[in-house]
Each structure stands twice: as C-alpha cells, then as structure tokens.
Amino acid sequence: MRELFDEVAGQSQFDPQEAVRRHTRAPQRKRFYESAGVAEADGGFSVALDGRPIRSPSGKPIVVPTRAIADTVAAEWNAQGETIDPLTMPLTRFANSVVEGVIDRVDEVSEDAAKFLGSDMLFYRAGHPEALVAREAAHWDPVMFWAADTLGAHFILAEGIMHVGQPAAAIAAARSAFPADPWSVAAVHVVTTLTGSALLALALAHGFRDEDQVWAAAHVDEDWNIEKWGIDEEVAARRAARLVDFKAAASILQALRPAGG
C-alpha cells in the first residue's frame, strides 16, 4: 500500500495539478483487501483494511480527528473497484499529506498560507467593464467587510494588478484567525492555494461563507471570461480536478469547525 500513494502524497495535496501529472506516470494497483472499516485509536480514529490500519507512504500511522472523517476515508477505500485510483480518494490523500507534511510543521504551513494576505486576490479589482466590477464586488466585498468587522483586518483595495502594500496590522489581525490544529491548517492551506485567497479560506473556516460561495468567488473572473469566450476543455479538466481537492478540504473545515463558529 505504501508505494500506491508515493506519487500523490505529501506536498502533492498542496499542488493538485502536480498530483495529476505524477499520477499519469504511475500505474494503478490492484485492490488487495476485502473491506475497509473504522476503529477508535489513540487521539482519534483509524481506518483499517481487513483489520490492518492504513499508514502513510513513509509508514506513519494515520489517525483522523473525527469519526465522520474516518467514515468518509473508509468509504473511499470501499468504493474502489478491481484497481485503486488515488485520484478518486481525496480525503485519503489529504490524510497522507497531514501526516507526512503538516503535523510536524504546523506553523510553517500556516505561514505559507498567510503569505497570501499580503497580495490576496480579493484586493485587486477590475476597472471595467462595469458588469464585471459589480460582480467582483458582490462576491468579494462581503468577505472584505467581514474581515474588517469580525477580524479587525482592514485591507486596502487596488484597481488592476499593480502591487499595493497592505498594513501590517491588517495582516497580523487576519493571521491570528488561522486555526491551530494540523488538519484545519492543512485544509486552509489547500483552499488558499486553490483559490488564490487566504481571506476566502478564512471565511470558509469560520463559517462565514460556504464552499459553493467560496468556489464561485474564487472564479469570478474566470467565469466571466467563459461567458464571453467559451470554455477551454483543458482548463475545465484542471478546474474539475482542483474542485475535488477543494471539496475535500472544505469538508475537513466543516467537520472541525467549533460549534457556533
């Protein structure tokens, strides 16, 4: 089982497109187990294949924080046919990524996502046409107001792509809203890198926006161009692959969100 996820584990969860490229070079393995189940483990729950707990590619035990997440991981294994396709197992890949690359460096992963706060996508607005300006505002302004009112993070907007420095106080205020547990941190990192916006990731993590709203907000400009010029099949395929990983990360944030958060 270890070599099965070597091509799509670790950092690949944080770069889904690279995972896709690597997977095209990796032959699929035959299913080697009858069924997957869930059991309590120290610190959470484990997923076992015919009674044997799954491990990360380097052999580390995988313990997930909630029963609901473990049930979903087990369902991914049970849904496999004669061969195992890791790209149809986003939560299993996510679990591998957390164990391999996040648990021992939570602060580093958080800081990597927090870098987006200096040049977040939501800061840079179109100057025309008016319909696009209005659409960006409809999707992005509520998140900006939420960041200011709830987090105390007052950022500066700009027209076009010329970089605008953001107040250190705003960045620090938003940074303080990042989660602390490795699973949520990993999920915020994934959402941030897939959307280009740490603020959208925070809005999702805190329950201000749901996953459909965040995904739509992340693709305002792209959807505008699609409406005008049509869709490119290759671009659509990459977007579909990213959506799989986005939904996995969003499900983690929802499962781990504090009550009332």
* pLDDT at position 97: 92
CATH number of 2-101: 3.30.2180.10
Mean predicted lDDT score pLDDT of the chain? 89
The answer to whether residue 14 scores a pLDDT higher than 60 is: no
Across-strand partners of 158? Answer: 124
Residue 257: its pLDDT value, please?
87
pLDDT at 22 over 60: no
pLDDT, residue 5, reads 43
Identify the CATH class of 106-256: mainly alpha
Q: Six-digit token pair at 224?
A: 């505008």
**Helices then strands (H, E): number in the chain?**
11, 7
Beta strands in the chain (DSSP E): 29-30, 36-41, 44-49, 52-53, 83-84, 124-125, 158-159
The model's confidence at residue 258, banded by pLDDT at 50, 70 and 90, is confident
Q: Indicate if the pLDDT at residue 147 is higher than 80.
A: yes
- Give CA separation, 51 vs 30, 54, 164, 232, in Å: 18, 9, 55, 45
Across 82-86, 177-181, 228-232, least confident range: 228-232
pTM of the predicted structure, to 2 decimals: 0.88
Per-residue pLDDT at 202 exceeds 80: yes
pLDDT > 70? residue 114: yes
Locate the domains of the chain by residue range.
2-101, 106-256
